[in-house]
C-alpha cells in the first residue's frame, strides 16, 4: 500500500506464461510474480532462471518509479529496444520482484 490511494501489490502466480519473439521462446515460467498497480495492467515478473538472458541485450535506459525504484532495461534480438525491464534494487514494497524480468508481451499459455 502506498500513499494517496495508489496501491501496489506483488503476489505469487501459478499461470504458465511465456514470451515468444520471432518464433523463439525467450522466457517461459509457471511461477511468475504478479505485480498489480493502480492505473496499470497486471504485469508478470519472471524469475531469471526462466529467462534466456543470453538473448537479451542490455540497454543504457533507466527509469525511476517512485513506488518501485529504478528499472534497468534490455532489448530483444532483432526486436524492440527496451522491451524488457527489471528492478535490481527495488523499493521495500515490491522487494519480491528483485532481478525478475518483465516483458511488454507476455502470453498466458
Q: What is the pLDDT of residues 7-38, one digit of tens each?
A: 999 999 999 999 999 999 999 999 999 999 99
The neighbouring-strand residues paired with 34 are 11, 44
CA 39/CA 8 separation, integer angstroms: 10
What superfamily in CATH does domain 8-108 come from? Domain of unknown function (DUF427) (2.170.150.40)
- When the pLDDT of each residue in the chain is averaged and rounded to a whole number, the result is 93
Domain boundaries, the chain: 8-108
> What is the C-alpha separation between 43 and 39, in angstroms, rounded?
12
Q: How confident is the model at residue 45 (pLDDT cuts 50, 70, 90)?
A: very high
Amino acid at each position: 500500500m502506498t500513499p494517496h490511494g495508489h496501491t501496489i501489490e506483488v503476489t505469487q502466480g501459478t499461470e504458465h506464461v511465456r514470451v515468444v519473439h520471432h518464433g523463439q521462446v525467450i522466457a517461459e515460467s509457471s511461477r511468475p510474480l504478479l505485480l498489480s498497480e493502480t492505473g496499470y495492467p497486471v504485469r508478470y515478473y519472471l524469475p531469471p532462471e526462466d529467462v534466456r538472458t543470453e538473448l537479451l541485450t542490455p540497454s543504457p535506459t533507466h527509469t525511476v518509479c517512485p513506488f518501485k525504484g529504478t528499472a534497468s532495461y534490455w532489448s530483444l534480438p532483432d526486436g524492440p529496444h527496451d522491451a524488457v525491464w527489471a528492478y535490481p534494487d527495488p523499493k521495500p514494497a515490491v522487494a519480491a520482484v528483485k532481478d525478475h524480468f518483465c516483458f511488454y508481451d507476455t502470453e498466458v499459455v
